[in-house]
Copies of this chain bind each other. A is one copy, B any other.
Amino acid sequence: MSDFPLRVIPLGGVGEIGKNLMVLEYDQQILIIDVGLMFPDGDMPGIDLVYPDITYLTARADRVQAVILTHGHEDHIGALPYLLKYLDVPVYATRLTRGLAEVKLREAGLLADAELHTITPDDVLHFGPFQVEFFHVCHSIPDAVGVAVTTPIGVVVYASDYKFDQHPVDGRLTDVAKLQALGDRGVLLLLSDSTNADTEGFTPSEQRVSEVLDEIVGQATGRVVIATFASNISRIQQVIHAARRHGRRVGVVGRSMVNNVRMAIQMGYLDIAPEDLLTTSEMNNLPRDEVVIVCTGSQGEPTAVLARLASDEHPQLQIIPGDTVILSATPIPGNEEMVNRIVDDLFRLGADVIYSDLCDVHVSGHGSREDHKMMISLVRPRFFVPMHGEYRHLVLHARTAQAMGIPPENIVIVESGQVVEVGPRAIRVGERVSEGHVLVDGLSIGELGAAVLRDRQHLARDGFLVAIVARNPATGEVVTDPEILTRGFVYVAEADDLIEGAKDRMWEVLKMPATGSSIRNKIKEVLSQYCYARTGRRPLILPLVLDV
């Protein structure tokens, strides 16, 4: 047997490492924890979504034993339909998580063929060399669990997303006793969420938001509109409670949120009767101080409800002066500008807008430094690998672990797609098996190369210019005037002179004796210089010599 028989491979994430999918491999048997997706970075124009790169798994399809889902957020279950298109593998999840996964699989037409199992945190499952147990964790969605996997060389604890909320909305605490018991048994490796590694203290309880909501809803004289994540079931529950306390009723707007709420009510995860939810007509016609509206779009997503309210383009709802709008989320880096613009536009429409800079209308679902320390104290692992965070968060989390007494040689930091090799006595960084993620653009997944993204960035900056001329290939005679097509470079209607100048430059090149490709190169070179000299810009230049 190798000295390092256990392999751990984090996949997914853009910037964030191992955010979406974790691979455990032992004796050629594979266990998958979570199959989520992410949204693209600002430097990925036109990209719709980012999936984990599953080629490592599809190439070893017969070895994959099971998929475990830790909770129902997009970044943990969103790519499940994609995975199940390629792998025929059973999926294990708690009730709510399974319900949310089923919504996704149904939409993708894959539900009938999927093998889903409901688990509870008390279950113990066996897959090849892996014995899998669960422990309940607090997060911004109910029914979230962490996973403890006993392998022949020791126990691996995957903490997933968690915080030690001492007063959670659903009353269920993170299972400290079970974590302590795992620690007592002895844990080989802890993989732990680093999202808030740069934040001091414990993350506040989700109940903090209740107090603030209570105050805002209590003071509002018009309608209250609250935007949050569609899957933030705990937050939606708090809104329902706050509304009730102030004699208001709640309506839900936004497809994904309506679906999630309907499912959560059915399964008993939301304390409201379906018939108590407001219809759109009631939202518009009831006395304004009886209405609370929960909607999507807290991250400024251009097609979600909040953005459409802000631009006054929602088909059923309009902002009425005197409405109070609450953005119950902190903008993810890259979304701030969009969110700010929406806040400005809502103010322009006469709403009173309460956003994160003004007051605590959001609390993170992820633990901070003291939560991290508590997890380490309970689990007392031999080896530690910080996960779920950008590189700086992993470094800071690793420092915390070291400060807690884990020797530096027992801590490794890896990037997504890189193997962590684990033995009973040592841990090390192995090879890199992939880039970690693939880009989804329209119908294509992973086909879009870096070259296309670079072209898009170039086009966004300076546009393009296509220069076309038709020649008789036998005589070399030019048979048409040169043509120029350009977009994103100059305002064509006002740039006749510039375009005519470019055509003149082409004529000069065409007078020289030359063959096809050298003419093309020469045209490109001359036009590049010409465009830069005239405008200071460098459009993407494509010459075409048509043989007629």
* Chain B residues whose C-beta falls within 8 Å of the C-beta of A46 in the assembled complex: 460-463, 488, 537
Q: Is A275 an interface residue (CB 8 A)?
A: no
Contacts of A463 in B (CB 8 A): 46, 452, 455-456, 459
Shortest Cβ gap from A361 to chain B (Å): 13
Quick one: which of B43, B441, B455 contacts A537, CB cutoff 8 A?
B441
* Complex CA distance for A162 and B341, rounded to whole angstroms: 25
How does the 8 Å CB contact mask read for A313-356 relative to B, with 1 for contact and 0 for none? 00000000000000000000110110011011101100001010
Contact of A488 among B334, B455, B480, B536 (CB under 8 A): B455
A334 to B, closest residue via Cβ: B337
A194 to nearest B CB, angstroms? Answer: 12
| Chain A, 389-432, CB within 8 A of any chain B CB | 390-392, 395-396
A353 to B395, CA, bound (A): 10
CB distance from A310 to the nearest CB of B (A): 11
Name A347's contact: one of B391, B448, B537 (CB within 8 Å).
B391
Write the nearest CB–CB distance from A514 to chain B, whole angstroms.
20
Chain B's nearest CB lies how many Å from the CB of A298? 16
Q: In the complex, what's the smallest C-beta–C-beta distance from A275 to chain B, in angstroms?
A: 37
Assess whether A15 is interfacial by the CB under 8 Å rule: yes
Known A490-B452, A491-B449; judge A357-B546 contact (CB<8 A). no
Contacts of A198 in B (CB 8 A): 355, 357-358
Q: Pick the residue among B464, B534, B537 that contacts A459 (CB under 8 A).
A: B464
Q: A512 within 8 Å of B by Cβ?
A: no
Q: What's the nearest-Cβ distance from chain B to residue A332, in Å?
A: 9
A509 at the interface (CB under 8 A from B): no
Contacting residues, chain B, for A390 (C-beta < 8 A): 340, 344
Residue of B nearest to A472 (CB): B548
- A518-548 vs B, Cβ < 8 Å mask (1 yes, 0 no): 0000000000000000111100101010111
- Verify A444–B485 contact, CB threshold 8 A: no
Contact in complex: B535, A444 (CB < 8 Å): yes
CA distance A209 to B289 in the complex (A): 46
Shortest beta-carbon contacts, A-B, top 5: A442-B536, A460-B460, A45-B460, A459-B459, A443-B536
Q: Tell me which residues across on chain B come within 8 A of A258, comparing CB atoms.
A: none
Report if A35 contacts B (CB, 8 A).
no
Interface code A25-60, partner B: CB below 8 Å = 1, 0 otherwise?
000000000000000011101100000000000000
Collect the chain B residues with CB atoms within 8 Å of residue A340's CB. Answer: 15, 333, 390, 392
Contacts of A468 in B (CB 8 A): 468, 544, 546
A466 on the B face (CB < 8 A): yes
Residues 182-207 of A, flagged 1 when their CB comes within 8 A of B and 0 if not, give 00000000000000001100000000
Once A444-B536, A459-B463 are accepted as A-B contacts, the answer to whether A548 and B480 lie under 8 Å apart by CB is yes
Q: Are A491 and B442 in contact (CB under 8 A)?
A: no
Shortest distance between the CB of A198 and any CB in chain B (Å): 5
Smallest CB separation, A401 vs chain B (Å): 16
Q: Does A360 touch B at the CB level, under 8 Å?
A: no
A479 contacts the other chain (Cβ, under 8 Å)? yes
Minimum CB–CB distance from A51 to chain B (whole Å) comes to 15
CB distance from A258 to the nearest CB of B (A): 24
5 A-B pairs in the complex with CB atoms less than 8 angstroms apart:
A333-B337, A441-B536, A442-B535, A444-B535, A456-B463
* Complex copy number for this chain: 2
Q: How far is the CA of A395 from the CA of B344 in the complex (A)?
A: 9
Q: Which residue of B lies closest to A351 (CB)?
A: B395
Does A487 lie at the interface of the complex (its beta carbon under 8 Å from any beta carbon of B)?
A: yes
Q: Which of A351-381 contact B (CB under 8 A)?
A: 353, 355, 357-358
A contact residues, range = 35 or more
A537→B442 contact, CB < 8 A: yes
Residue of A340, A449, A459, A540 with most chain B CB atoms under a 10 A cut-off: A459
A447 within 8 A of B: yes
Q: Indicate if A470 sits at the interface (CB-CB under 8 A).
A: yes
**Does A113 touch B at the CB level, under 8 Å?**
no
Q: Given A460-B457, A466-B466, A544-B468 in contact, is the A344-B442 Cβ separation under 8 Å?
A: no
The answer to whether the Cβ of A175 comes within 8 Å of any Cβ in the partner chain is no
For A452, give the chain B residue with the smallest CB separation: B491
Name the distance in Å between A478's Cβ and chain B's nearest Cβ: 10
Contact (Cβ within 8 A) A357 B199: yes
Compute how far the CA of A479 lies from the CA of B480 in the bound complex, rounded to whole angstroms.
Answer: 13
**Is residue A451 within 8 Å, beta carbon to beta carbon, of the partner chain?**
yes
Knowing A455-B488, A459-B459 are in contact, say whether A479-B548 is a contact too (CB < 8 A): yes
Q: Which residues of B contact A391 (CB under 8 A)?
A: 344-345, 347-348
Not counting A447-B490, A468-B546, a sample of 19 additional A-B residue pairs whose C-beta atoms are within 8 angstroms of each other reads: A15-B340, A42-B337, A198-B358, A340-B392, A347-B392, A441-B537, A443-B535, A444-B535, A448-B490, A449-B491, A449-B494, A456-B461, A456-B488, A458-B488, A466-B466, A470-B470, A487-B540, A487-B542, A546-B546
CB distance from A411 to the nearest CB of B (A): 14
- Quick check: A487 and B460 within 8 Å, CB to CB? no
Q: Which residues of B contact A348 (CB under 8 A)?
A: 391
**Chain A residues numbered 479-507 whose CB sits less than 8 Å from any CB in chain B:** 479-480, 483, 485, 487-491, 494
